[in-house]
Amino acid sequence: MIPVPLLVCVMAAWCAVYLADTLLRTSVTHRISYESWLASRGLMLSPFHLRWQTTMFNRLFAYCARINPRALYLFNSGLVFGIVAMLGSVVLLVKTLQQTLAQMTTDNPRMGGQQTLQVVVPGVNLPTSQLVYFFSALLLSGVIHELGHAVAALREQVRVNGFGMFVFVVYPGAFVDLFTTHLNLISPTQQLRIFCAGVWHNFVLCVAALAFLFLLPILLFPVYYTGAGALVTEVVQGSAADGQRGLSVGDIVTGLEDCPVRGVEDWSSCLSHLSHTPQTGYCVPVSSLQPSWAHGRAFKRLDGTMDCCSNNSLTDLCFSYMKPQGRNGREREYACMPVRKMVTGTRVCRSEADCAAHSNAPSVCVTPSLENQTRFIRVTHPPNTHMLFVGYPPHLQYSVSLTNFVPRLGFLHLDLPIFLETFCKYVVSLSGALAVVNSVPCFALDGQWMLNALLEATLVTVVTDRQKRELIGFFLLLAGSALLAANVALGLWMVTAR
């Protein structure tokens, strides 16, 4: 469901802006000065839409167009990419629509994250803590998109009237105003280079952000190092990792049981491995099994597993092990033992043979007797003692925020690499999404003008009647618009109704 407080705040803000605009426009004393002020600053205001346009960047666009006059092959590459992207976007939308319909007809929760494209609604499937990343990356992607159109237009001798930005409800964007007369005088191939330049620059930005993301460890190497473990940057208060003997901000996790952790990816893979494999045991010398420990009668839990601790102690845990009986016999025993004393400095085992192979003294493999899906995990974070966790591994995973980057100097902020990583990921996702969506042959998108120019360039000798070519283009645009509208409508329903 859409969060009501966020919706109320957005509606209230727009109502206040629109009310102030209406009062100033109807005021006898302020109307002329207010409208002059808006016009001088290139501002236009309508319900849920604020637009700003300026010519101050025209010289910058002209400079970019003159940097390398021989770079025509770059825009020709953009033309080819735009045509391929137009076809690919249709295939992608058809696939996404099939996935959405399949998800609507199944109750399998695993189908939820399998869509290639997803509608993003702030506050619903986008956490409010990520809004700054989202809108910043969206605005950057939009500006680069329009920069591509402007530079390509100037290279084709089409005048740029101005550049602008807008906010529609909560979504920011950008646009360029091209001189239509010049645009209509150039050839369809030249038009294609202009119309395809936006999605081409989005693709280039996506590749650049992806390269920066992969090179980040090298770029930050002088001040941050990686491969030493996963650095804790945040611990959720009251979570399983919180507490005096839990994890703290600045701790470096180097292992989960016998699974080494060199970074965040290892942390996730180790937890996944531990949650899908049987509980690990620990090699304990037979001589250390003190008779004073409670060898009470084991009893079954509701899920069929065994327990032997009835004192609800936070320091004791029920362990099971195979006790030798006679010459060849063995009997499973259960004992309620102090957990930290049992597992400190012991080797991990999964069978009695593991203990016999690495120990001279007689030892047994003791295993925590826990409920199904529950795991006992030792978290190594030197120089501190092990953090001992009992519970569902996903709870531990979501209890902390981690990063691969460890600062070399104490004054460096722990969150700087996280900020750069997250922002780059949003740029890759949103710039790629803009390239896909704008390539769709749909009314009011770049795909409309790309398709019209493509038909004029390719069908002029096959379909000589211009009206017939326009009719073909109209039906193709109608189909593309219906496909995009179906994806958006069903995507919104899936996000907000479930």
Residues 6+ apart with CB under 8 A from 145: 174, 198, 199, 201, 202, 434, 438
Q: Are 396 and 256 in contact (CB under 8 A)?
A: no
Write phi, then psi, for 242 (nearest 5 degrees): -85, 155
Euclidean distance between CA atoms 270 and 275, whole angstroms? 9
Distance CA 82, CA 200 (A): 7
Q: Which of the following is catalytic: 146, 156, 257, 456?
A: 146
Total residue length of the chain? 498
Q: In what order do the strands lie in the sheet with 400-403?
A: 252-253, 230-235, 400-403
Per DSSP bridges, beta strands 230-235 and 400-403 are antiparallel
Q: Whose structure tokens read 């990921």?
A: 425
Q: Where are the beta strands (DSSP E) in 369-422?
A: 375-380, 387-391, 400-403, 406-407
Quick one: which of 496, 430, 492 has its CA closest to 135?
430
Buried b vs exposed e over 344-380: b needs ≥16 C-beta within 10 Å?
Answer: eebbbbeebebbeeebeeebbbbbbbbeeebbbbbbb
Cα–Cα dist 98/101, whole Å: 5
Q: Enumerate the H helices of 68-161 as residue ranges.
A: 72-104, 131-155
Q: Under a CB-based contact definition with an 8 Å cutoff, are residues 282 and 349 in contact? A: yes
Q: Which long-range contacts (CB under 8 A, 24 or more apart) does 258-262 make?
A: 258/348, 261/229, 261/230, 261/380, 262/227, 262/228, 262/229, 262/230
Residue 146 designated active-site: yes
Distance CA 333, CA 308 (A): 10
Cβ proximity of 174 and 54 under 8 Å = no
**Closest by alpha carbon to 435, among 443, 427, 489?**
427
Cα distance between residue 160 and residue 151, in whole Å: 9
For the annotated catalytic residues, the residue numbers are 146
